[in-house]
Amino acid sequence: MKKYTNIKDISNLQETIKEAILLKMNPFEFSDLGKHKTLVMLFFNASLRTRLSTEKAAKNLGMNVMILNVNDAWNLEFEDGTIMNANTSEHIKEAAQVISQYADVIAVRAFPSLTDKQKDESEFVMNSFVKHATVPIINMESATAHPLQALADAITITELTEKPKPKVVLSWAPHPKALPQAVANSFVEMMQNMDVDLTITHPEGYELSEAITKNTTINHNQEDALKDADFVYVKNWSNYKDYGKVLNQDENWMMTKSKLGKAKFMHCLPVRRNVVVEDAVLDSEQSVVMQQANNRTFSAQIVLKQILEDL
């Protein structure tokens, strides 16, 4: 693997998922592979799970890890040709090349503005790193994608499914704050590459980008969409058409035990209890959110392993 900024970077998904499940059984099997190799993790935004699981994964492979909260340093410039006499102190051209000299792999987290749709969709932070860095880049959640989460979700569904082609439903949920579409986007793209029957349900007007959803079934009737589901992935995203707005906080879209039926409940976390999903779901045996979070280590570890093998 040459980089992992998008799930399309995985060449053989089924093989990768299987290998991740094997890693999980023996996490230290390749603890020499990363010897004298350094992962630099760059955070433009806060992180708990992604930070700890990715650091853990790298150390399981014997890598050194260096972490920088970029905002603790200074603002980076991403535009070409700018006269940098204002708030930015260093151009991404220099920053990415310099960090590449201290790193064998760079992992980046950079959320969208949710105010400038075109700029967010250009993935200017992640793509600038890909363009200017001279080492592989891993996406730890960017403006439009969260491929490490999606891979962990694919591992989780693979581990848990009891039938060949399970029904998977992505169900929008209310949330008081404007959240990115990144998790939903990558989950949809991942499911489109797996042998599942995918349905998306959300209020009218909350369509994700058509470039993502393509011909996936969209059903605005949540009850109908959830019928006979095997896995229900609940997630809020802010409006995509009226970009970044919170136009709907309808509590009726919260996931409940009765709506869930016999399905497994999935969420990427952090989750707001009794807003996105009621306690009864999270505290039940049907919730697999801990397994998803645990698999974050192994999605990062399999990606790092494949990158290290291709260095």
Question: Which is it for the CA torsion 156, 139, 233, 165, positive or negative?
Answer: negative
Cα–Cα distance measured from residue 13 to residue 33, given in angstroms and rounded to the nearest whole number:
22
Report 74-133 residues binding a copy of itself (CB under 8 A).
74, 77, 80-86, 88-91, 93-95, 97-99, 101-103
Report 149-188 residues binding a copy of itself (CB under 8 A).
176
Buried residues in 239-275 as b, exposed as e (16+ CB within 10 A): bbeebbebebeeeebbbeeebbeebbbbbbeebeeee
Q: Is 235 annotated as a binding residue?
A: yes
Q: Please count the other Cβ atoms lying within 10 Å of the Cβ belonging to residue 174.
A: 17
Nearer to a copy of itself, 18 or 272 (CB): 272
301-59-49 Cα angle (round to 5): 65
Q: Is 269 annotated as a binding residue?
A: yes
**Site for a copy of itself (CB under 8 A): how many residues?**
62
Question: What beta strand segments (E) does the chain contain?
Answer: 38-43, 64-69, 76-77, 90-91, 105-109, 137-139, 167-172, 197-201, 217-218, 231-235, 264-266
Q: How far is the CB of 287 from a copy of itself (least distance, A)?
A: 10
Report 210-269 residues binding a copy of itself (CB under 8 A).
269
Which one among 18, 51, 220, 257 touches a copy of itself, defined by CB under 8 A?
51
Task: Candidates 5-13, 151-159, 216-224, 290-298: pick the segment binding a copy of itself (CB under 8 A).
Answer: 290-298
Cα–Cα distance measured from residue 64 to residue 282, given in angstroms and rounded to the nearest whole number:
35
Residue numbering of the annotated binding site? 47-50, 74, 109, 141, 146-149, 175, 235, 268-269, 272, 296
Q: Given the rule CB under 8 A, which residues bind a copy of itself?
A: 27-28, 31, 36, 38, 40, 46-49, 51-53, 55-56, 59-60, 64, 66, 68-70, 72-74, 77, 80-86, 88-91, 93-95, 97-99, 101-103, 176, 269-275, 279, 282-283, 289-290, 293-294, 297
